[in-house]
Amino acid sequence: MAITIASLAEQLNGTILGNHSMVVLGAQSLEKAQPEEISFVADEKYLQTLAESSAGAVIAPGMLAETFADELPCDAVILVDDPQAAFLQSLEMLRPRRPRTRIGLSRGATISPTALIDAETNIHPGAHVGDDVIIGSRCDIHPGVVVGNGCRLGDDVILYPNVVLYPDVVIGNRVTIHASAVLGADGFGYRLIDDRRQKLPHFGIVRIEDDVEIGSCTTIDRAMIGETVIGEGTKLDNLVMIAHNCEIGKHNAFVGQVGLAGSVTSGDYVVCAGQVGIADHVHLGEGCTLGSKSGVHKDIPAGQVYMGAPAQPVAEALKTLMAQRKLPEMLRVVRRLEKQVRDLTDQVDRLSGSDNQPSEAAA
C-alpha cells in the first residue's frame, strides 16, 4: 500500500520536516529500510544508525527537531511524541491485516448438538467441539482445534490450528492461543506403590483470564485439585511449560522455554527470560525479573532482579560470573605455584640429605 508523507503525518498527528509529497511504499527497520520506505528512531542513540540508513523517511521524537534543523538525514521526517507507537500505527496502514472472514459453523467441523455457540463465531473445517461447550461471540476456532467437553470460552477468543483444550478448560475474553498449544492435560504426578509408579488423578481445571496470549506448543496442565490459573494480561511465549496448580499473576511475561514445576505462584508484572526453570511451590514476588537460564529453588522477593543457577541477586551473580571468567588464568597460576612448591621441596630434601651425610673427619 502506498501513502504520502502528508497523509501519514495527518494520521499520526505529527509535524513534517522535508518533502510533504514523498510517497511511502513500506516500513522497515533502519538497517534494512530502502529509499521508498519509512523507519523510526526512538531517541538520539540511534542517530548514527540513521545517518548510515537508506530510509527515505523516518519517524522521530519531537525533541530531535533542533538536531534536524540544519540538515535532514533523509527526504522527510515526521516528528511525534511517541515514535514507536506512531511507527506501529503506520505499519497498520501500510500493511493492513487481512479482514476476518465470516464462515459461521462449517459443515466440515464436528460440533456437538449440546454446544452453545454464538452466531458471530467461526468454527473452521476439521475442528471438533465437544458436549456442553459454550463459546462466546466473534471467536475463531481454526482447523484441527479440539475443544473438549464442558469448556467455556468468552468473547473474541482465537484458537489457532491444532490447539487442544482438554475437558472443562475455562477461557476469558480476548484470549489468543497459538498453534499446537495444549491446555488441561494431566499434571506430572505419581507416587510409588509396591515399587511401581502410580498415577495421581487430576480433578482440577485450567482457567485463563482475559487478554492472555499463549504461544505455540506451550502446555498448561490442569490442577490436581482446584485450578491452574493464568492471570489477566499475561503473555506466554512459545514452548513454555506451566505445571499443575500454578497460579500466575496479572501481566506476567514468560519468554520461550520457561518451565514451572507444580504449585508455583507469582505476583503481578513478573518477567522470566528464556529457559528459566522454577522448582515446585516457589513464589515469585510482584515485579521481579529472572534472567535467562536462571534456576530458582526458593522464593524471589518482590521487585528484585535475580539470575544464575542457583538464582541470586544480579549484583552477586555478576561477581560470580566475572570470577568464573578468571578461572583459566587462576588455574595457570595455581599450576605454576604447585611447580614452584615441588621444586622448593626437592631442594629442601636435597639440602636435608646433604646435612645428614657423615663428614670425612667423622669417618
Question: Is 262 in contact with 245 (CB distance < 8 Å)?
Answer: yes
Helix (H) or strand (E) holding 241: strand 241-242
Q: What are phi and psi of 233, to 5 degrees?
A: 75, 0
What's the residue count for the chain?
363
**Active-site residue, selected from the candidate residues 244, 251, 283, 297:** 244
Question: Please, which residues have CB within 8 angstroms of residue 94's CB and are 6 or more apart in sequence?
Answer: 1, 3, 24, 25, 26, 27, 38
Pairing of strands 205-208, 128-129: unpaired
Provide long-range contacts, Cβ within 8 A and 24+ apart, for 301-306: 302/267
Helix (H) or strand (E) holding 128: strand 128-129
Pairing of strands 23-24, 3-4: antiparallel
Q: Is 128 a catalytic residue?
A: no
What strand order describes the sheet that includes 37-40?
Answer: 15-18, 76-80, 57-61, 37-40, 26-27
What's the DSSP call for residue 359? Answer: P
Query: Which residues are annotated as catalytic?
Result: 244
